[in-house]
Amino acid sequence: MTGRSSELSEVLKRRRIDACCIQETKWKGSKSRLIGNGYKLIYYGTTSGKNGVGIILSEKLTQRLVGVERVTDRLMAVKIALENQPVMNIICAYTPQTNSKADDKDAFWDDLYLLINNIPKEENIDLGADLNGHVGRVSTNAKGCHGGHGYGVRNLDGDRIIQFATICNLAIVNTYFKKKDAHLITYSSGGHSTQVDYVLARKRQLESYRDSKVIPGEALTTQHRILVTKYKLPKPIRINNKLTPKIKWRSLKDEAGQRFIHAMVEHLKPMDNNRTTDEEWNDFETTCRSTAEKHLGRTRNRKGPFKETEWWQTEVKKAIDAKKKAFIKWQSTGDDSDRNEYKEAKHEAKRQVAKSRAKSNSKFYDNLESAKSDIDIFRIAKSRNNNSKDISNVKYIKGKDNKLLTNDSDINDRWVEYYENL
């Protein structure tokens, strides 16, 4: 993922993808970070340069994020609350490779089973995973979970996938849509092509899936292809871009602040001794707010457009675009000369990214060193800290039965009930 996060956010924006599961991030840590275009990456890894999983959410899903569960560096899940419709559980999984130890494989499948088994039956499950197994083209002995439109020949690891899906009452979504081989193959290397990436969901959700196919033309990685599924929710999700306007108190030290202070001093001079303390306070509060709004102003009540990642500049975009074109050309011809051309374009893209990132980091540290006050430093630190949090706002709560409440009236009633019983 290093150096590719902004490129990935561009692909997700162009393809209008709201949730994306990624494997082999090879990042150590358990944080969140904004990657551009309003997308947030929530990731988990325990060892640098090995394994690692992550889930990327669009702004409208991030606003409804109510839970994150990091199980291992191969397995994690997020919970999304949706108004007046079933809760969505997005799971990202990365199965040990075929030649891994049997104990490692058993531990992974046990962890995945426990994770799914603990999700309430009425909630939806969307599992995006690199399962390192071949379920095969046909649905022999697997009609309950295999749609009959897979790729290749089933192997032992594929049998285990089928067995797991059957036990958990899940369906392998991308086997239910008839596609060309190019739109089924998720991994290609050294002349060998296979299908190892899958989307699994509860069987009752199948009717909500509209399509599933591989996008072979996106050059994010040389070997893996992006698997995209279209899912229609019962009700559309609305983005809340409204913000509560706030008085710009930080302007108190400016000229406008001095005018505000002078106006308030003039207001406080003729004190009325016949009024009570509450009356005096109410008058002061009202006047203070209206005077501050007049002289200091208020913030905007809507969010502006997303700021792109600082280092995602024109030179980087051009290099990435050239890499993509070279990749598509190599995939269509298969010539060694085109492969070498793609390698050169890939190397140039990496160079441009590294150069732009170094320039951006230098600018950030310069701003930090040239900060005029502790308030400026605190503002920078607060922004970076907020961006690393999984959940930025809390709206949804649980009822007495421990079930998540997503309806506004139910949430209000629960709060009333809670305060009445204090």
d(CA 156, CA 105) in angstroms, rounded, equals 12
Q: Which of 205, 231, 257 is the last residue of a domain?
A: 231
In a domain, 43, yes or no: yes
205 within some domain: yes
pLDDT of 347:
84
In this prediction, residue 409 carries a pLDDT of 84
Q: How far is CA 206 from the centre of its chain?
A: 23
| 91/201 same-domain check | yes
Which is nearest to 68 in space by CA: 85, 86, 53? 53
The DSSP secondary-structure symbol of 251 reads: G
Residue 109 Cα distances to 72, 131, 161, 199, 264, angstroms? 12, 10, 9, 16, 67
Q: Into how many domains does the chain fold?
A: 3
Mean pLDDT, the chain cut into blocks of 10 residues (422 residues total) = 76 91 89 88 87 92 91 95 89 93 94 95 94 92 90 94 95 95 88 92 95 83 87 80 77 88 86 79 89 87 56 77 81 81 84 78 74 75 80 80 81 88 84
**Residue 128 within a domain:** yes
pLDDT for 333 = 81
Same domain for 197 and 336? Answer: no
Residues 76 and 201 in one domain: yes
Nearest residue to 131 via CA among 4, 2, 55, 224: 224
| Helix and strand counts by DSSP (H, E) for the chain | 10, 16
| Closest CA relative to residue 68, chosen from 52, 79, 82, 55 | 79
Contact 78, 65 (CB under 8 A): yes
pLDDT at 241: 60
Closest alpha carbon to 58 in 81, 35, 74, 76: 35
DSSP run (H or E) holding 40: strand 39-44
Quote the tokens at residue 326.
């070279």
The pLDDT assigned to 239 comes to 67
How far is 296 from 287, CA to CA, in rounded Å? 13
Single-letter residue type at 66: V
The answer on 153 and 80 residing in a single domain is yes
Rounded distance between C-alpha atoms, residue 83 and residue 396, angstroms: 10
Boundaries of domain holding 359 = 314-387
Query: Residues 184, 214: contact at Cβ < 8 Å?
Result: yes
The answer to whether 225 and 214 are in contact (CB under 8 A) is: yes
Evaluate whether residue 394 is within a structural domain: no
Radius of gyration of the chain (CA): 27
CATH number of the domain to which 68 belongs: 3.60.10.10
Query: Do residues 266 and 150 both lie within one domain?
Result: no
| 218 and 166 part of one domain | yes
Structural domain contains residue 422: no
Handedness of CA 168, 52, 90, 78 (dihedral sign): positive
Is the domain of 55 the same as that of 192? yes
Let me know if residue 419 belongs to a domain: no
Q: Among candidates 210, 151, 190, 198, which has minimal Cα distance to 23?
A: 198
Q: What is the pLDDT of residue 165?
A: 95
Q: Say how far apart CA 145 and CA 205 lie, in whole Å.
A: 12
Q: Count of CB atoms within 10 A of residue 281's CB?
A: 11
Please give the pLDDT value at position 176: 95
Helix (H) or strand (E) holding 413: helix 408-420
Residues, the chain, total? 422
Task: Assess whether 24 and 169 both reside in one domain.
Answer: yes
Q: Are 257 and 295 in contact (CB under 8 A)?
A: yes
For residue range 58-97, what is the model confidence (pLDDT) as tens digits? 988 998 899 999 999 999 999 999 888 889 999 999 999 9
Residues 215 and 276 placed together within one structural domain of the fold: no
Q: Helix, strand or coil for residue 415?
A: helix
DSSP code for 305: P
What span, in angstroms and rounded, lies between the C-alpha atoms of 341 and 275? Answer: 84
* Pairing state between β 124-130 and 88-94: parallel
